[in-house]
Amino acid sequence: MALIECKEVSKSFGPKIALDRVSLDFQEGKVTGLLGPNGAGKTTLIRIINRITIPSGGEVFFKGRPIRQEDVEKIGYMPEERGLYRKMKVGEQAMYLAQLKGMSRQDAVKELKQWFIRFGIQDWWNKKVEELSKGMAQKLQFITTVVHKPSLMILDEPFSGFDPVNADIVRKEILRLRDDGATIILSTHDMGSVEELCNDIALIDKSRLVITGDVQEIRHKYGNDNIEVEYTDEDGRHTEVLPREIAGNNTLKSFIDRGITVNSYRELMPRMHDIFISLVTGKEEEQQ
Amino acid sequence: MNIRTIGLVIGREYNTRVRKKSFLVLTFVVPILFAALCFLPSIIMLNMKEQTKEVAVVDQSGIVMPYLENGEAANYYDYSSYDPDSLKNRLEAIGKDILVVVSPIDSASNVSVQTFSKKPAGVDFSENLASRVSRAVEDYRIKSYDIEGLDQIMNDVKARTQVKEYSLGKDGKETVSESGIYMIISMVLGMLIYMFIAMFSGMVMSSVIEEKSSRVVEVLVSSVKSIDLMFGKIIGVALVALTQFALWILLTAMIVGIGGVAFGPKLLQGMQGDNAAQMSEMAISGTGLHMEDAVAMMEDGDLKTVLTTLGNIPWGQLIIAFFIYFLLGYLLYASLFAAVGSAVENEADSNQLQLPVTIPLLIGFFIALMAMRNPYNPVVWWGSMIPFTSPIVMLARIPYGVPFWELALSIALLAVTFAVCAWASAKIYRAGILIFGKKSTWKDLWKWLKQK
């Protein structure tokens, strides 16, 4: 079921069109990668879902009905440009943002303390934000995004600024939250994490939706349907890429008949990176 | 409108500002200054009393000495039979502070006076001495004409005009008034409200800029409607201002009260009798600072007129008007400054953009200065009606009395203008806070205003 449905959503700033009739669903309990080059209109779409920006046309539905202002309490948003009050204490800051999302004081304290312990920053409660390292501030930002248990999380480049260890912690948290039923919109340029985390993708380019759907299906669709076979014969180890028609069962059988050891046999899937580039530049990249 | 989130925004704005060091410093320093202003005149008088100077006089003219009467400021001793040069060196030995040498009368019936002292004799002393010597010379000259009764004639001819003002109340009752007092109160009120409006609405602007430059604003508006955020901020700072006022009044009253109990009798002593008269005399002939109000306050110890005038000022109306005009003026300018703040990413960039907002405020201040001298000028009247200047100008007018309908009209206009400006500012603010990476101009602000 779709948690968020965008129907013909448009936005123009004066003569400039930022979004052009984008219709798009975000499925409940799934991670959807929102992709697109810089300036494509991703941030505008995210802000419209967040009700920060009012669309010029079209409508956004939340759980099947038009989205309302109260629904923002069910959304957690981590913008690409991170921001916290520099002069405020870490604990107060987190409390303020959590309460703005509708949490009571007591709940906010309880939940925040747990998150602080989980991220190993419980000693920072009374420090000022400006004393935090960049990584620490990022952790705090992530916590304030998720502490109110939102049913929709919008994460814009969530891994930027994290070292590999902390990026891994955040990655695990995202998956855990998804398993708990949260819907996640992940806007990123890091195609590796798209392949790893996303169930669905939506690609926006030049204000329009180019493609949306299941990651595996899309990769399949944009593949050349080639099979990579790795085998060992008397000359040694070989790797060969063959079209599916050729690399059928018969070929495999003939390999085995000839006493050749087949080490691996797999369908060659295009990387998201290549699909992205080919869709955005409009040119098919040479498949190896 | 979401009351809960506005409340949270107000709370944060208030708490962070009230806990700032600058707030605490200002809260305690200003009452001390106020209290010092209250006590200063008495303290000055008290100190004056202690400095009675011992003066040796060599009067070679033979006419001056009788005019040098001993007073609180100086005791004069006749050393006319001594040689001035030898006295100069023995001044300390004979226990005198100052040596005054008056020359013999010259052909033009004039004398010259020289003073010698280790420490400077002081302006007050020399002015006082000069006026006494002049009187001696004048009388000498009158006598030298040898016309009978001339001194009486000269005394009669001397005009000493004093203007006593009476304000005519509605019931035709005359009340004594003193325009000097009105001027001072009008000036103080105009300056205070100008300062407060500029200071606190500037605070709103820097708060908006802080949230934008730290980028926290995008997180905030994903939870709070931008209009709620803006008004929460404006209300929060207004509460800070009211807290500050309350503390100022309380602390000033406390300091003055404690000071009054502790030093009261002594200070009152300082104010007594000939001292006050002497002081006023010095103020007039003295420093050359011929401000009418200073004269008005001091002249002949006419304390009664001053007190009557103070009693005639509509204090109740004044205080209520101060709060109404401060609040509305602050709200108007704070919303305008919030719009300007939303368009810039750091304080330095704001200077150019805020000019069109600052100028009306300044114009208001200058018209208020005009109102202080000439409250019935048409420019002043219009200034007290036009909403962008009215909070400041009207406050400067009120001590002189303003008809109720003018007050009501001016307040109504101000409130309506605030509503319109707040609506426009909210639209500009909503768009402005999300625009990064380019220097915005007033043209951009206009564009955002028209955006749906």
Whether residues B223 and A56 touch (CB distance < 8 A) is answered with no
Whether residues A72 and B8 touch (CB distance < 8 A) is answered with no
Whether pTM > 0.80 for this model: the answer is no
Numbers of helices and strands, H then E, in chain B: 17, 6
H helix or E strand, kind and range, residue B108: none
Match 């001339």 to its residue by tokens: B150
Minimal Cα distance from B211: which residue of A? A85
Whether residues B218 and A97 touch (CB distance < 8 A) is answered with no
| High-pLDDT (> 90) share of chain A, % | 49
User: Over B29-45, what HEC string results?
Assistant: HHHHHHHHHHHHHHHHH
Can you tell me the distance from the alpha carbon of B97 to that of B122, in angstroms, rounded to the nearest whole number? 12
Give the number of beta-carbon pairs within 8 Å between A and B: 66
Whether residues B5 and A100 touch (CB distance < 8 A) is answered with yes
Instruction: Tell me which of A100, A130, A185 to substitute to probe the interface with B (most B C-beta atoms closer than 10 Å).
Output: A100
Whether residues B436 and A96 touch (CB distance < 8 A) is answered with no
Match 């001495």 to its residue by tokens: B129
Q: What is the pLDDT of residue A151?
A: 93
- Which amino acid makes up residue B142? I
Please give, rounded to a whole number of angstroms, the shortest distance from the CA of B5 to a CA of chain A: 6
Q: Read off φ and ψ for residue A26, nearest 5 degrees.
A: -115, 115
Q: What is the pLDDT of residue B51?
A: 64
> What are the start-end ranges of the H helices in B66-159?
84-90, 123-145, 150-157
Smallest Cβ distance to A83: which of B216, B223, B451? B216
Minimal Cα distance from A86: which residue of B? B214
Q: What is the pLDDT of residue B273?
A: 45
Please give, rounded to a whole number of angstroms, the shortest distance from the CA of B421 to a CA of chain A: 22
Can you tell me the distance from the alpha carbon of A57 to that of B109, in angstroms, rounded to the nearest whole number? 100
Whether residues A82 and B215 touch (CB distance < 8 A) is answered with yes
Mean pLDDT across A27-36: 92
* In the predicted structure, residue A285 carries a pLDDT above the cut 70: no
Please give, rounded to a whole number of angstroms, the shortest distance from the CA of A77 to a CA of chain B: 7
Smallest Cβ distance to A88: which of B16, B220, B222? B16
Minimal Cα distance from A56: which residue of B? B452
- DSSP class of residue A8 equals E
Smallest Cβ distance to B215: which of A13, A50, A81? A81
Whether residues A96 and B5 touch (CB distance < 8 A) is answered with no
Look at phi and psi of residue A266 and say left if phi exceeds 0, alpha if psi is from -120 to 50, else beta.
beta
Residue numbers of B between 177 and 216 with CB closer than 8 Å to A: 210-211, 214-216
Q: Which of B14, B449, B436 is nearest to B212 (CA)?
A: B436
Per-position pLDDT tens, chain B of length 452: 788 999 999 999 999 999 989 899 988 888 888 777 777 766 666 665 556 788 888 888 888 888 888 876 788 888 888 888 888 888 888 888 888 888 888 888 888 888 888 777 777 788 888 888 888 888 888 888 878 788 788 778 877 776 766 666 555 555 556 667 778 888 888 888 999 999 999 999 999 999 998 889 999 999 999 999 999 999 999 999 999 989 988 888 888 788 777 766 665 554 544 444 444 444 444 333 333 444 444 444 456 666 677 777 777 888 889 999 999 999 999 999 999 999 988 888 888 888 889 999 999 999 998 888 788 889 999 999 999 999 999 988 888 888 889 999 999 999 999 999 999 999 999 989 988 877 888 888 888 888 76
Mean pLDDT across A169-193: 91
DSSP state string for B212-235: HHTTHHHHHHTTS-HHHHHHHHHH
Minimal Cα distance from A69: which residue of B? B225
Please give, rounded to a whole number of angstroms, the shortest distance from the CA of B35 to a CA of chain A: 34
Q: Which of A277, A268, A81, A287 is nearest to A191 (CA)?
A: A277
Minimal Cα distance from A49: which residue of B? B222
Please give, rounded to a whole number of angstroms, the shortest distance from the CA of A204 to a CA of chain B: 21
Please give, rounded to a whole number of angstroms, the shortest distance from the CA of B450 to a CA of chain A: 9
* Partners of residue B210 in chain A, C-beta under 8 Å: 85
* In the predicted structure, residue A135 carries a pLDDT above the cut 90: no
Mean pLDDT across A136-146: 91
Q: Which of A224, A226, A249, A248 is nearest to A239 (CA)?
A: A226
In tens, the pLDDT along A220-273 reads: 888 777 788 888 888 888 888 888 777 778 778 888 888 888 888 887 778 888
Q: What is the pLDDT of residue A287?
A: 39
Please count the residues of chain B: 452
Residue numbers of B between 420 and 439 with CB closer than 8 Å to A: 434, 436
Please give, rounded to a whole number of angstroms, the shortest distance from the CA of A79 to a CA of chain B: 7
Burial class (CB in 10 A: 0-12, 13-18, 19+), B274: exposed
Mean pLDDT across A179-198: 90
* Partners of residue A14 in chain B, C-beta under 8 Å: 447, 451
Please give, rounded to a whole number of angstroms, the shortest distance from the CA of A164 to a CA of chain B: 25
Instruction: Tell me which of A56, A96, A138 to substitute to probe the interface with B (most B C-beta atoms closer than 10 Å).
Output: A96
Please give, rounded to a whole number of angstroms, the shortest distance from the CA of A12 to a CA of chain B: 10
Tokens (6 digits) for B394: 């009207």
Q: Pairing state of beta strands B165-168 and B98-102?
A: unpaired
Q: What is the pLDDT of residue B45?
A: 63
Higher pLDDT, B337 or A280: B337
Residue numbers of B between 306 and 365 with CB closer than 8 Å to A: none
Whether residues A72 and B223 touch (CB distance < 8 A) is answered with yes
Can you tell me the distance from the alpha carbon of A269 to that of A104, in angstroms, rounded to the nearest whole number? 48
Q: How far apart are the first and last CA of chain A?
A: 38
* Partners of residue A51 in chain B, C-beta under 8 Å: 222
Q: Which of B124, B85, B119, B125 is nearest to B101 (CA)?
A: B85
The answer to whether residue B219 neighbours chain A at the CB level (below 8 Å) is yes
* Partners of residue B221 in chain A, C-beta under 8 Å: 50, 52
Given the cut 0.95, state whether the ipTM is greater than it.
Answer: no
